[in-house]
Amino acid sequence: MSFVEVAIKVPLHRTFDYRIPEQLDALSVMPKVGARVWVPFGNQRKVAVVLALKTNTDVPVNKLKAVLEVIDDEAVLSERHIELLRFTARYYCYPLGETIHIALPGALRQGLCPDKSSISMVALTEKGAKLPSLKAKSQLSLLKQLADSGKSSLTELKALGFSKKTIDSLLNKELISQTIEHDNQWQQQLPTVGTKPTLNKEQAVACTTINQAVGFNSFLLEGVTGSGKTEVYLQCLEEVLKRGEQALVLVPEIGLTPQTVNRFRRRFPDTPIMLWHSALSDNERLQTWRFCEKASCAIVIGTRSSIFLPFLKLGMLIVDEEHDGSFKQQDTLRYHARDLAAYRAFQHKIPLILGSATPALETLHKAIHNKYQLLSLTQRAQTSTDNKFQLIDMKGQPDQAGIAHASLATMRQHLKRGKQVMVFLNRRGFSPTLICHECGWLSECTRCSTSATFHKAIGQMICHHCGEQERVPHQCPDCGSTQIFPNGKGTEQIEEFLTTEFPDTPISRIDRDSTRRKGSLEKALDDINQGGARILVGTQMLAKGHHFADVSLVLILDVDGGLYSCDFRATEHLAQLVTQVAGRAGRSGEPGHVLLQTHFPEHPLLQDLVNNGYQDFARFALQERDDAQLPPITNMAIVRAEGHNIKQVVDFLTDLVPVQGLTGIQLLGPIPAPLERIAGKYRFQLHIQALERPLLHQYLAQMVDYLSTSKLAQKVRWSLDVDPIDMI
Ligand SMILES: Nc1ncnc2c1ncn2[C@@H]1O[C@H](COP(=O)(O)OP(=O)(O)OP(=O)(O)O)[C@@H](O)[C@H]1O
Ligand SMILES: [Zn+2]
């Protein structure tokens, strides 16, 4: 008799054995390892993935059920891919069946097997390339997009907000044409390479070092903002493509702008490049998955979860802006795509490039200890001058809407010279709270231990943690006074103030509220690049990766929150954000000017950052982490628990503390989470730290075992976060 060991999507840390039905066994038609099968589970039918074929099992014969049906002739997961998912499950202490489920595209999870082996691409015709004047604005902007990208897939155009109607009208007018791509010809030909700049010395050293590397090698490309990191990626990719190998470029959620993608497309016009992000439909996901596994696409530019794509011939992995928090999944399987990228590069024996102007301390620590090879780009590619930083002491400064008069005067100078000015505030809405002038009441979310943000334009109070919305009160709920006012500033208020202060200057606001509609972010960015908007107001959406040639002044309104926070990573995140935002200034031509408003100009962090830059700050911060024995010097995991009953939450965590007290493990807790209540639930944490990683994992493995039998665990919602990136 033959058996299979399978993984099933259930919240259990184990696999299951099934019998191969006699008729298949007799014909010796065994499912392949990595293929999907239907199996009975309880009184349900579930999709399972075969992990191994066996000739014996420990399960008693009377308990053993038979596989119902074999879904795939060929494996959907290669053995190497299964190994990656096993590693992921083990490392993040998450059930293997659920890990596999998360990695697979929707259609494969459901047991379907549609064929998705072709893709529709759209390009300009000769007639369209002349960019004829058209009345319909959307048609014209579609032509421009294609002129910029060379070609785009239907999927991408839809993601950019172009409707089917717009596309169809242009097809009818024969201004654009549609082709179906489904070959892997690209592997046999040398790639066509668009025009490219000559690398400067540092870039050339970086490229040569990476290209000469044999086998698994990790590189940290630490390059100041605008130093031409992307150019290094592109020229390294050229070599990968010449070898007929594939590459994955991981970008932060906000990094998939048409500008970035078009740059890759223009450089490699004949090379199949696909995108992967959260807005793809199930069908589109499956399509990219299939293209990857057949090596029909050469490059994928994708967000976090593209790390699970099944590349047939992976030749290089790149993580751009590797410090970005969006690479870490913050629920269910809490993986970090950058760290899994390191495992994958090791598996495939290929180079991994981690690029950033502001490397995470984790990454820098590895580079300093020679686990990663450090490559530095210290010069900006298009200017020879550095940005000029200036701290504006807000103590005793006259201000309007939180903008110092000195800052307003500088803004005026830059606008007068025809430059663009960026005003950065990492808080959306009109004001973070309302306050009662008579009794001091502050607007709070009724379900969370946090304030409710005033959104003036839509007349709502919104909790940014649980999403609860309420009408704006006209009277103080406590004392009945009508004297209630906005307290503190958000981007909406800054925009309103600047509109009255600079009535003739076009202003563009970019934050989650202003870019909710599909394609609206792209339109706003386009407008900025065409020079339409002169003042840009925004949150961190503006900070990352954009190349605005005309911005010469960046004004950062409020950095003080990050200086005194209970999260030990707050200063690191603040320094990264400030450096990234500042890096939007002075990217071509004259040096940029950066103003930082603060009440603590003498704070050592700000002084270090402004005078010596992120590189210096980061090395100093690592020393501090060493002194305090915090990550990345030590290894950490957090157990979070929440529930309506505070005692059950605390009891659950207290119960975990004595688990097999291993020496070398430090436990802290249960302690209340920084946000003690969200959506009505109490939240507590247990911090686990160890100097040695294997010891931490040994402890966690025991704890997971214990949790599977713990009655208390069933009464609360809990999660385990290995290598957490924040404490919330
Ligand atoms: N060697 C070079 N010669 C001339 N221009 C270059 C060179 N390398 C890059 N550039 C140009 O300089 C600008 C910045 O380069 P790039 O976008 O690659 O930098 P980056 O380090 O990725 O930027 P950031 O991380 O700040 O977004 C781009 O317009 C790019 O085309
Ligand atoms: Zn809330």
Give the tens place of pLDDT for each residue, 13-31: 999 999 998 877 777 778 9
Answer whether residue 660 shows pLDDT above 70. Answer: no
CA distance 359 to 273: 27
For ligand 1, whether the C-beta of 583 sits within 6 Å is: yes
Span 429-451, mean pLDDT? 91
Distance 34 CA to ligand 2 centre (A): 43
Q: In what order do the strands lie in the sheet with 460-462?
A: 453-455, 460-462, 469-471
Distance 442 CA to ligand 2 centre (A): 14
Backbone angles phi, psi at 235, to 5 degrees: -75, -25
Average pLDDT over the chain reads 90
For the CA of 461, the nearest ligand: 2
For ligand 1, whether the C-beta of 359 sits within 6 Å is: no
Q: How confident is residue 599, by pLDDT bands cut at 50, 70 and 90?
A: very high
Residue with tokens 């990094």: 255
Span 86-93, mean pLDDT? 97
pLDDT of residue 13: 93
Residue with tokens 């300009």: 124
CA distance 296 to 311: 10
Distance 90 CA to ligand 1 centre (A): 39
Of the candidates 425, 429, 421, the one whose C-alpha atom is nearest the C-alpha of residue 514 is 429
Q: How confident is residue 525, by pLDDT bands cut at 50, 70 and 90?
A: confident
pLDDT of residue 438: 93
Domains defined along the chain, listed by start: 3-109 (3.40.1440.60), 119-181 (1.10.10), 186-377 (3.40.50.300), 388-428+490-625 (3.40.50.300), 635-722 (3.30.70.600)
The full length of the chain comes to 728
CA distance 505 to 66: 72
Distance 451 CA to ligand 2 centre (A): 8
What pLDDT, in 10s, does the model give residues 371-420?
999 999 998 887 767 788 999 999 988 999 999 999 999 999 999 999 99
What pLDDT, in 10s, does the model give residues 304-353?
999 999 999 999 999 999 999 999 999 999 999 999 999 999 999 999 99
Q: Return the ligand 1 atom nearest residue 198 CA.
A: 1
Answer whether residue 523 shows pLDDT above 90. Answer: no
For ligand 1, whether the C-beta of 698 sits within 6 Å is: no
Partners of residue 666 on adjacent β-strands: 689
Q: How confident is residue 659, by pLDDT bands cut at 50, 70 and 90?
A: low
Answer whether residue 661 shows pLDDT above 80. Answer: no
Q: Are 549 and 574 in contact (CB under 8 A)?
A: no
CA distance 533 to 507: 5
Burial tier of 112 (Cβ tally within 10 Å: 0-12, 13-18, 19+): middle
Of 93-107, 300-314, 572-586, the one with minimum mean pLDDT is 572-586
CA distance 679 to 685: 17
Residue with tokens 């009945």: 480
Q: Are 296 and 183 in contact (CB under 8 A)?
A: yes
CA distance 260 to 252: 12
Distance 329 CA to ligand 1 centre (A): 29
- Name the amino acid, one letter, at 207: C
Mutate to test the pocket of ligand 1, among 547, 579, 594 (most ligand atoms within 8 A of CB): 547
For ligand 1, whether the C-beta of 586 sits within 6 Å is: no
| % residues pLDDT > 90 (the chain) | 63
Distance 676 CA to ligand 2 centre (A): 11
Mutate to test the pocket of ligand 1, among 231, 322, 356, 577 (most ligand atoms within 8 A of CB): 231
pLDDT of residue 116: 58
